[in-house]
Homo-oligomer: A and B are copies of this chain.
Amino acid sequence: MSHVVLAGGVGAARYLTGAVEAFDPATVTGVVNVADDLVLHGLHVSPDLDTCTYTLAGAIDPERGWGLVDETWQAMAELGRYGGANWFSLGDRDLGTHLYRTARLHDGATLTEVTAEITAAWGLACRLLPVTDDRIETRVGLTDDREIGFQEYFVGMQHSIDITGVRFAGAEQARLSPTAIEAITGAEALVIAPSNPIVSIGPLLAVPGLQELIEARREHNVAVSPIIGGAALKGPADRMLRELGEESSVVGIARRYRNLAATLVIDEVDRELAAAVEDAGMRSIVMPTIMNQPGVAAALARACHDITTGV
């Protein structure tokens, strides 16, 4: 038994929490996006890996939805004194993670190794694997002709401007994590988490070899739609899809994912679109997908597993 999840940030983190509740955590693996990673003030910050880690550890701040609970902001206050760039808030506790990661990477450790050390320190029994140990960087093209980093668009500008395109700098040269290849190849169930399809799942697929690996096992894969009732629960996935000329609906998601997975799990509010999803080329399963109540994420993980393993 093994359950592998293609993962971005918040949505994937919640899904993974359900998976480790539903199954033996040691059988659960997240293959996580690193294209949002950034070097900030010399520190290597991995937002999606940290969101998954902190959420699985029960240490994520429940109000903000990112970063650690019981956080303080003394370093940012002093940085502000100097007029330093503090648009990306690094809490004092959170800084401990970035200091550790940066030091280990400087020592020559891979991001995979550092991530294993960090998750172990938080007592996680599941695995989080960066999709690659190489640097990929999501670059967002804007309607004002600029191209900026993803976090600058997402956090710095609060995604307040329309996009014209997205590219993943460095992806062509990136090498897929051997551990991730092994996990995916051997996975009983592979789930595309309800993450932003463009900037969370997109960069995973941009790493040479991953898309082929996933497509080759399409019948054993299932995706959970990140779009519910036409909108993203969190983040700009809905707007980004529209701005790139796609449909912000479960049907739009089905068109994106139909070569990757046989089945799309859609929320009950989208029940009427189930047939359209099937027309777009994916089997559809309708069930609660909003993971804000106890048990929803675990039930979702169980259903995904059963779908892919034919139970």
Binding site for B on A (CB under 8 A): 40-44, 68, 71-72, 74-85, 90-100, 102-104, 106, 117-118, 121-122
Contact = CB atoms under 8 A, between A and B. Distances in A.
Given A43-B99, A82-B97, 7 more contacts: A42-B106, A79-B96, A82-B117, A83-B121, A84-B99, A84-B100, A90-B99
Contact of A74 (B85, B92, B103, B106): B92
A75 B93 contact: yes
A152 to B, nearest CB: 14
Given A42-B103, A103-B41, A96 B74 contact: yes
Question: Copy number in this complex?
Answer: 2
Identify which of A40, A71, A78, A118 gathers the most chain B CB atoms within 10 Å of its CB: A78
Nearest to A78: B96
Q: Which 6 A-B pairs have the closest CB atoms?
A: A78-B96, A42-B102, A74-B92, A41-B99, A92-B92, A75-B95
Contacts of A106: 41-42
Contacts of A91: 74
A86 to B, nearest CB: 9
Contacts of A104: 84
8 contacts: A41-B99, A71-B74, A75-B93, A76-B96, A77-B96, A81-B96, A81-B121, A92-B95
Contact of A79 (B84, B99, B117): B99
A307 B149 CA distance: 58
Contacts of A81: 96, 121-122
A84 to B, nearest CB: 4
A122 B81 CA distance: 8
Given A72-B74, A92-B74, A96-B77, A82 B42 contact: no
Contact of A43 (B43, B68, B72, B84): B43
A42 B101 CA distance: 10
Contacts of A102: 41-43
A78 B103 contact: no
A287 to B, nearest CB: 37
